Structure 1
């Protein structure tokens, strides 16, 4: 899990800072925070990132893309949420169900 956007708050919340998410799903998000700390990238170390350009979808994809790159992901997915934001996920492996 990468994080989520909120239309109401007009921001991004990193998965590593979301207390509602199970800890076993946050190792990659925590890796991104560590990368941000090591390289002084504020957007990767702050729990909330504000939407300065008023484009939540672009913000969500930008930060999810950074996570995908850092974590060697194969892809990403955006799931809409009822309040106008979205949940962003990365994929690190694929397997087919028959």
Structure 2
């Protein structure tokens, strides 16, 4: 889990700050936060990132892409929740089903 977007608040919420998620799905998000703190990148170190450009989906994809890069992941996935809200996941491994 990387984070989620909210159309109501027009913001991104990093997974590490959401108490609804278990710790084991937030390991990579915490790695991104640590990278942000170490390198003084506020968008990675603060809980919320405001959508100042009115491009909420773009913001979600951009921050997910950063998480993919920092965590050496394979890609990202966006799961729509409805009403403009979405969850963003990073993909760490891919294998054939079946």
Q: Under TM normalisation by the shorter chain, which class is it?
A: over 0.9
The residue number in structure 2 matching 1:22 is 22
Deviation at 1:78, TM superposition (A): 0.3
TM-score, with structure 2 as normaliser: 0.97
TM-score, with structure 1 as normaliser: 0.97
Q: How many residues align?
A: 98
CA distance in 2, matches of 1:60, 1:95: 25
CA distance in 2, matches of 1:92, 1:41: 23
The residue number in structure 1 matching 2:45 is 45
Q: Which runs of 5+ in 2 are unaligned?
A: none
CA distance in 2, matches of 1:55, 1:84: 11
CA distance in 2, matches of 1:27, 1:17: 12
Runs of 4+ in 1 over 6 A off after TM superposition: none
The residue number in structure 1 matching 2:76 is 76
The residue number in structure 1 matching 2:57 is 57
**SS at the partner of 1:89?**
strand
* Cα RMSD (Å): 0.7
CA distance in 1, matches of 2:91, 2:46: 23
